[in-house]
Amino acid sequence: MKGTFYNWIIACLIAIPMWCGAQVKPNDDPARNLQKFSQFYRYLNGMYIDTVHNAALIESAIRSVLSQLDPHSTYITAEEMVSVKETFGGSFSGIGIEFNILNDTIIVVNVISGGPSEKVGLQPNDKIIAVDGKPSIGVKQTDVPKLLRGPKGTQVSLTVARHGEQEPLEFLIVRDNIPINTVDAAYMVNPTTGYIRVNRFADNTYRELFEAVEKMDKPEALILDLRNNGGGTMDAAIAMSNFFLPQGSLIISTEGMKVPTSRYAAKVDGVFTKGKVIVLINESSASSSEIVAGAIQDWDRGLLIGRRSFGKGLVQTQFPLSDGSAVRLTVSRYHTPSGRAIQRPYENGRSDLYYEDFNKRFTAPNDSLPTDSTQIYRTLRSGRTVYGGGGITPDIVVPIDTTAYTKYWGDLIRKGVIEDFVIDYLDKNRSDITTRYPDPDRYIEEFSVTDEMLEKLVAAADTAGIAPDPQALETSRLLICTQLKASIAQKIWTVNEFYRVVNKENDPVFAKALEVLDHWDEYSSGIISE
């Protein structure tokens, strides 16, 4: 059996040079080198003095090989593949709650509308103290999904402690498909302008985008927020780009040495081919986000605001392995419609330098490395100048404002103090807040963080080992108050309200987008919006 496996591998690798049409140097011949490795592997298992843990050795060997290649070829274990499929599939089976750990106990932060938990009456602030009869006190946050998720149609019993109830409550919940939304926020900023924030690209992204715009009832302008969106499926990026472009518009092309060049264009006229478009990007907008941003910029369809994107323009193809694991190998490069390569420069086997280069952007002027003056391209309709050299450079750069950042603020976030404080605050004050602010509009306009709340936050931080720092508190006051207000809104309503608060209270990039829309003619020379 083992010999048959080796022979199959050797036969496949012998065929590789013929399949890809590449010339292989004698010392790089795949079959000869696999034969060498196969000899070593048999000696190892047949003669080595101690037990050989083959699975761990092979995984280590695969990772070692990939580490010598580009920064984005990677190995995915069989266990990790389960989560990968859920993420890009757009749904998973579970009970439909958002949760957190507070004082070693699973607390229900929110109940997903229409989900299994809502149907049986689970409520926010319920504390899950046992799952299927086994105590869950002290469970790690990373282990909670393993307890609550499962195949559609299976049952899970929860024992819940609820404020005001003397005895624990028992719930029997039948798991069902829970959608994983890729649109975090979608709302009308004013009577003519819609805002949509997309967190990643998956199978359901286009549908979510379409439905969000439909509900907005024909906005005249759209702000598409792709900041911190690390990408996802290329098909989803192409579909989103098509949403804004007419039929026939080239969206992206891929070029590689061993795979055919491919060109992807808009198949139909997009839903929003007229009207003003602004795309927000930053240094963590990558891959599929860069496809969309590049296509909109190259076709003069809208303006880009923010900071230069990550520069991840390598295309990976996922190849399954026999045990359910997989490797993602880089096979080609993305090029925008004007011909720009999205990928920023890298050196094989030096991922450390690759990410060090990324970190330099936070100390460089205007949060961007100098533009490569040799990488000049022209947009396809007005002939505006755009730049290559890696990543997508926005039309209007808004630098990071670090003046309000302090170590104290960073510690509050990193150590989860603000998150725990908000959960505890709502445990005591939820009913009062929802009575005073029956809808999010009123809450966003009228609620403000009080000095008393900040004093309690400082005390909670002190208990968590973060010493009081009055000066730092004052310096970071706006950041802290915005985060508290936004987190409370999210836990009472949805993540949509979180971004409504942040955008309104303290987001200079969003504010710049509104300014540009108010003075569109001044900023948009060459942009096609009508």
Q: Are 343 and 305 in contact (CB under 8 A)?
A: no
The vertex-425 CA angle with 423 and 430, nearest 5°, equals 95
**CA nearest neighbour of 391 among 414, 417, 418, 372:** 372
Has 312 been annotated as catalytic? Answer: yes
Query: Whole-angstrom distance between the N-terminal and C-terminal Cα of the chain?
Result: 66
Going from the C-alpha of 12 to that of each of 30, 55, 57, 319, the distances in angstroms are 10, 21, 22, 14
Question: Which helix (H) or strand (E) is 120 found in, with range?
Answer: helix 116-120
Q: Which residue has the tokens 């003056």?
A: 373
Residue 133: exposed, middle, or buried by beta-carbon count in 10 A (0-12, 13-18, 19+)?
Answer: exposed
Q: Which of 298, 300, 420, 507 is catalytic?
A: 298
Strands 134-135 and 314-320: unpaired
Which regions of 432-503 does DSSP assign to beta strands (E)?
A: none
Q: If you count them, how many residues does the chain have? A: 530
Residue 426: exposed, middle, or buried by beta-carbon count in 10 A (0-12, 13-18, 19+)?
Answer: buried
Has 85 been annotated as catalytic? Answer: no
Residue 471: exposed, middle, or buried by beta-carbon count in 10 A (0-12, 13-18, 19+)?
Answer: exposed
Going from the C-alpha of 379 to that of each of 264, 300, 363, 392, 510, the distances in angstroms are 18, 6, 30, 13, 25
Residues 486, 497: Cα–Cα separation, whole Å: 7
Q: Which of 136, 184, 300, 312 is catalytic?
A: 312
**CA nearest neighbour of 281 among 264, 299, 302, 265:** 302
Residues 29, 481: Cα–Cα separation, whole Å: 62
The vertex-311 CA angle with 305 and 317, nearest 5°, equals 130
Question: Which helix (H) or strand (E) is 462 found in, with range?
Answer: helix 451-463
CB-CB neighbours of 287 under 10 Å: 27
Strands 105-111 and 97-102: antiparallel
Q: Is the dihedral of CA 426, 428, 431, 433 positive or negative?
A: negative
User: Catalytic residues, which ones?
Assistant: 287, 298, 312
